[in-house]
């Protein structure tokens, strides 16, 4: 398992190959499909950022 965020996305973006070995949250080396993980991480991260933006704007309106 990885935590989706700018750091992971940057690592995935600069990986030249289709697969690579990355350390997961528990520092276990895992061989991954770079493009598949990049897509999943990008989607999860954007979902959370969009939800945060909506919540933030809602709070600003209430204030």
Write out the residues near other proteins by the rule CB under 8 A.
1, 3, 24-26, 28
Provide, rounded to whole angstroms, the least separation between the CB of residue 28 and other proteins: 7
Nearer to other proteins, 17 or 62 (CB): 62
Provide, rounded to whole angstroms, the least separation between the CB of residue 1 and other proteins: 5
Backbone angles phi, psi at 27, to 5 degrees: 60, 30
Phi-psi bin for 34: left (phi > 0), alpha (psi -120 to 50), beta?
Answer: alpha
Provide, rounded to whole angstroms, the least separation between the CB of residue 26 and other proteins: 5
Question: Which residues pair with residue 33 across a beta bridge?
Answer: 19
């Amino acid at each position: 398992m990885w935590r989706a965020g700018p750091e992971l996305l940057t690592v995935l973006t600069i990986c030249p190959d289709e697969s690579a070995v990355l350390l997961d949250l528990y520092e276990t080396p895992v061989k991954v499909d770079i493009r598949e993980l990049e897509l999943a991480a990008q989607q999860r991260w954007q979902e959370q950022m969009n939800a945060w933006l909506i919540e933030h704007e809602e709070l600003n309106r209430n204030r």
